[in-house]
């Protein structure tokens, strides 16, 4: 082979290597953004369920215009039956660690309605971005049905 042909082969290998690296970086950034969107969606779904429960009368299994006593089982989510829930998490299950906490394929979620007039749902994602941080989404819903959601990327993946 001539020197020019060898140079072209080396140049092609370098270009393909750079393209692969750029593709991997784009994929990981996209995966982190998709996980954040999924956690936001889960928090909004849980907030809607929490609001529906809170405005129901106590006689029909609701909160009687209060979020006090709310937990995930009261939102219509069933408790997984296993002794070690963290090891049994899979893509199709919702696993409860306590009535106020559960894990799904998108992240882990906590629920706090102790204030009575509002409920706070906090979701922590599972996919880290290039800085090693995962999203933390906090959604608050009040008894009037108003929602407020904040997204941060400050938690380091353990």
Strand runs labelled E in 38-156: 95-98, 101-103, 107-112, 118-125, 133-142, 147-156
Nearest to 77 by CA among 55, 106, 46: 46
pTM more than 0.75: yes
Of the chain, the percentage scoring pLDDT greater than 70 comes to 83
- Residues 82-98 have pLDDT tens digits of 334 444 444 445 555 66
pLDDT band at 120 (very low <50, low <70, confident <90, very high): very high
In the predicted model, is pLDDT for residue 56 greater than 80?
Answer: yes
Strand-pairing partners, residue 111, are: 121
Q: How far is CA 48 from CA 5, 6, 43, 82, 140, in A?
A: 64, 63, 9, 28, 10
Domain range enclosing 14:
3-156
- The neighbour count for residue 143, using CB atoms within 10 Å, is 16
Nearest to 123 by CA among 111, 133, 108, 112: 108
pLDDT band at 2 (very low <50, low <70, confident <90, very high): confident
Are the beta carbons of 139 and 151 closer than 8 angstroms? no
Q: In total, how many domains does the chain have?
A: 1
Are the beta carbons of 41 and 151 closer than 8 angstroms? no
Mean pLDDT of 95-110: 79
């Amino acid at each position: 082979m001539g020197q020019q042909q060898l140079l072209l082969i080396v140049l092609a290998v370098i270009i393909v290597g750079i393209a692969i690296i750029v593709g991997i970086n784009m994929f990981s950034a996209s995966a982190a953004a998709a996980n954040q969107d999924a956690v936001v969606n889960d928090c909004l779904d849980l907030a809607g369920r929490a609001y529906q429960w809170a405005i129901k009368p106590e006689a029909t299994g609701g909160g009687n215009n209060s979020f006090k006593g709310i937990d995930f089982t009261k939102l219509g989510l069933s408790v997984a039956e296993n002794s070690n829930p963290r090891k049994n998490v899979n893509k199709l299950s919702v696993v409860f660690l306590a009535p106020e906490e559960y894990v799904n394929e998108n992240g882990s979620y906590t629920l706090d309605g102790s204030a009575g007039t509002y409920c706070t749902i906090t979701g922590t994602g599972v996919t880290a971005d290039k800085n090693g941080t995962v999203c933390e989404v906090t959604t608050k819903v009040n008894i009037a049905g108003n929602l407020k959601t904040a997204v941060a990327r400050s938690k380091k993946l353990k």
